[in-house]
Amino acid sequence: MKNKGISNRREFLKNGSLTALSLAIGMDIVFAKNLPNHLLPIILETDKAFNLPDKHPEMTVLNDRPINAEAPAHLLNEAITSGDRFFVRNNGIPPEKSSIDPNTWTITIEGESAVNSKTYTLNELKGKFKNYTYQLTLECGGNGRKEFNPPAKGNQWSIGAVGCAAWTGVRLKDVLADVGVKSNAVYIGYYGKDTHLSGDPKKNPISRGVPINKAMEDESLIAWSMNGEPLPYLNGYPLRLVFGGYPASCSGKWLHKIVIRNKIHDGAKMAAPSYRVPCKPVPPGTKVPNEEMCIIESMPVKSLITSPKTGATIQVGQTLPVSGHAWAGDLAVKAMHYSIDFGATWQTCELTAPANRLAWQQFSSNIKFPKKGYYEIWAKATDSEGKAQPMVLPGWNPKGYLNNACHRIAVKIV
Ligand SMILES: Nc1nc2c(c(=O)[nH]1)N[C@H]1C(S)=C(S)[C@@H](COP(=O)(O)O)O[C@H]1N2
Ligand SMILES: [Mo]
């Protein structure tokens, strides 16, 4: 599964030209003419070889068709995730960058529960409606999937399919109000400009959405900017939805159409089992009928230790500063704890208030260790309703969603 796309790509490159090789590497191969025919540039042997446009070289690339990449924990140390470290989850092929012109980009709002149908250019959207900036956490529903057993198919995300950026855009509710929302509206759905892996132009790679009450929240944005700059190409340039706290699959990229629906949206990947979990917990390995799978809405409470890196070595007697982030779907995080004795006892961490609703919060602590040896630091967040992260894997589900088990890092005291 892992790297399948990459080895296909290698096959492709073997048959391809030197130009293709240079393109893949992102620069000229200076002595290319001396490269023996049977050899590939060695840099292509590593996952890191892919120059994802605008992405940090330490991002872990899980797949190259479609492109999926996550950040190792230490890259996510800042309170605001920079564009080059923000994970990428694609279901299809992004629109050609050269085909995207923000000056002619339009978004259309229509659907059976829309009073009118309206099209706005990106510039009209920016000028007509008040602009807002919020720090919003996006996490892929499948983040943490690789831990599930029996394993679930799909991208084997570890911990890095999450980020919190400062998004600027207009409130979806302001735009919906301008179009007019009928009283029978229950859902919105999105359409993006990416194309299906099959190449079939009639198929959408993904077309999901959110219940109308989520669409109407103040923090639900149609956004054109991440951290004060245009959206990174792979994160939806020039326009996307951002619904903090919901599975990031709801936040449509390369956005060009929103439909206001009088029923739950029925676009691609809305139907079971995609982005659904068993309505009631099941034993691991259970085959769950589609009718018993429920749509994921608010994500569960979770946290991530971003400093130090796992494997850190410190001198005995030293104090170790530890920090990271915690988030809780639609809720806030109310408490943060750490353990150095595999969960037998827990100490309280410092915890900041969120910058705004749906932004992740920062925790920190200075840890002392009793003597030399190997330790693990476990981090556990508790949400505003009193629900805490589980220490072991939570409810197994067929597609491997919602793993919010405590994050663990290793430290050596020498
Ligand atoms: N048009 C479009 N929107 C999309 C997707 C996609 O493949 N195409 N993937 C979704 C999924 S599953 C996730 S987790 C998020 C990922 O957003 P990011 O790539 O900006 O991190 O985008 C969502 N929006
Ligand atoms: Mo996702």
What is the model's pTM? Answer: 0.89
Domain, as residue range, for 152? 83-295
Q: Is residue 409 part of a domain?
A: no
* pLDDT for residue 368: 96
Distance 163 CA to ligand 1 centre (A): 13
Q: Among 76, 190, 197, 206, say which to mutate for ligand 1: greatest number of ligand atoms within 8 Å of CB.
A: 206
Distance 139 CA to ligand 2 centre (A): 7
Which residues surround ligand 1 with Cβ inside 6 Å?
A: 86-92, 138, 140, 192, 194, 205-206, 235-236, 248-249, 251-254
142 burial type by CB count under 10 A (0-12 exposed, 13-18 middle, 19+ buried): buried
296 closest CA partner among 268, 270, 327 = 270
Place 27 in a pLDDT band, splitting at 50, 70 and 90. confident
Q: 7 CB contacts (<8 Å, ≥6 apart)?
A: none
Q: Is residue 406 part of a domain?
A: no
* pLDDT for residue 7: 44
Distance 402 CA to ligand 1 centre (A): 16
Q: Which ligand is nearest to the CA of 206?
A: 1
Q: Is residue 67 part of a domain?
A: no
Q: Is residue 31 part of a domain?
A: no
Ligand 1 atom 5: residue of nearest CA: 90
Q: Cis (ω within 30 of 0) for the bond into 95?
A: no
Place 46 in a pLDDT band, splitting at 50, 70 and 90. low
336 closest CA partner among 323, 324, 351 = 351
Mean pLDDT of the chain: 92
Domain CATH number, residue 233 = 3.90.420.10
Higher pLDDT, 38 or 172: 172
Question: Count of domains in the chain?
Answer: 1
245-258 mean pLDDT: 98
- 92 close to 201: Cβ distance less than 8 angstroms: no
User: 321 vs 277, 312, 382, 390, CA distance in Å?
Assistant: 37, 11, 21, 24
A 10 A CB-CB count for 199 gives 9
Q: Is residue 158 part of a domain?
A: yes
Query: What tens digit of pLDDT does each residue of 190-215 get?
Result: 999 999 999 999 999 999 999 999 99
Distance 137 CA to ligand 1 centre (A): 13
Place 35 in a pLDDT band, splitting at 50, 70 and 90. confident
Q: Which atom of ligand 1 is nearest to the CA of 163?
A: 21
Q: Is residue 1 part of a domain?
A: no
Ligand 1 atom 23: residue of nearest CA: 249
Query: What tens digit of pLDDT does each residue of 333-346 get?
Result: 999 999 999 999 99
Q: Is residue 25 part of a domain?
A: no
The alpha carbons of the chain give a radius of gyration, in whole angstroms, of: 22
Distance separating alpha carbons of residues 236 and 234, to the nearest angstrom: 6
Higher pLDDT, 225 or 64: 225
Q: Is residue 56 part of a domain?
A: no
- 269 close to 250: Cβ distance less than 8 angstroms: no
Distance 114 CA to ligand 1 centre (A): 25
Is the confidence at residue 221, as pLDDT, over 90?
Answer: yes
* pLDDT for residue 6: 44
Q: Which ligand is nearest to the CA of 70?
A: 1
